[in-house]
């Protein structure tokens, strides 16, 4: 009973780790990786496992700039499951990225990350957050634009 109480506040509970195949992805491409779920000290019911792609947006509030997280793609990885003590599960994923993903170019690029969270009823939800970068798709690379070709000058 004491172990369940401790897991509810985050001590000895299940843990999730996100491993990306690459820390860069192409806008319009596919982000691939694996989610590793590690059981804690007690059996816990996971209601869902969700992967979010998010970036920092700047919003003006009362003449001040406020940095807020903005989720722009979500993937529900699994339905309800039970994780037993010490159990380890690996869930591979492939998430299609929107062609209009926030690009990581120059010094002013938006902070972008992959966030994974496991929804556990009546407990602190384990989560991870990994920074990643998004580059242009090959079809929109500067060298493929006709106006960059010397024949167009």
**Residue 70: per-residue pLDDT:** 82
Q: Residue 2 — very low, low, confident or very high, per pLDDT cuts 50/70/90?
A: very low
CATH number at residue 114: 2.60.40.640
Q: What is the mean pLDDT of residues 124-149?
A: 61
**3-state SS, residue 110:** coil
pLDDT for res 7: 45
Residue 74 and residue 52 in contact, taking contact as beta carbons nearer than 8 Å: yes
Distance CA 122, CA 95 (A): 29
pLDDT confidence of residue 101: 65
Count of domains forming the chain? 1
Spatial CA neighbour of 44 closest among 18, 15, 77, 2 = 15
User: What is the domain extent for residue 147?
Assistant: 2-152
- The stretch 1-21 carries a mean pLDDT of 66
As a whole number, mean pLDDT of residues 118-134 equals 77
pLDDT, one tens digit per residue, over 48-94 is 888 888 888 888 889 899 988 888 888 888 888 899 999 999 999 99
Residues 97 and 25: beta-carbon distance below 8 Å = yes
């Amino acid at each position: 009973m004491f172990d369940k109480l401790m897991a509810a506040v985050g001590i000895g509970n299940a843990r999730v780790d996100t491993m990306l195949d690459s820390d860069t992805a192409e806008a319009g491409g596919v982000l691939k990786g694996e989610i590793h779920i590690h059981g804690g000290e007690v059996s816990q019911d996971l209601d869902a496992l969700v992967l979010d792609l998010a970036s920092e947006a700047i919003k003006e509030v009362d003449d001040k700039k406020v940095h807020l997280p903005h989720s722009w793609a979500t993937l529900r990885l699994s339905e309800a499951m039970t994780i037993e003590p010490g159990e380890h599960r690996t869930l591979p994923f492939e998430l299609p990225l929107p062609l209009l993903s926030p690009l990581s170019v120059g010094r002013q690029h938006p902070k972008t990350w992959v966030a994974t969270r496991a929804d556990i009823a009546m407990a602190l939800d384990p989560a991870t957050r990994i920074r990643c970068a998004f580059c242009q798709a090959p079809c929109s690379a500067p060298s493929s634009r006709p106006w960059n070709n010397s024949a167009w000058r």
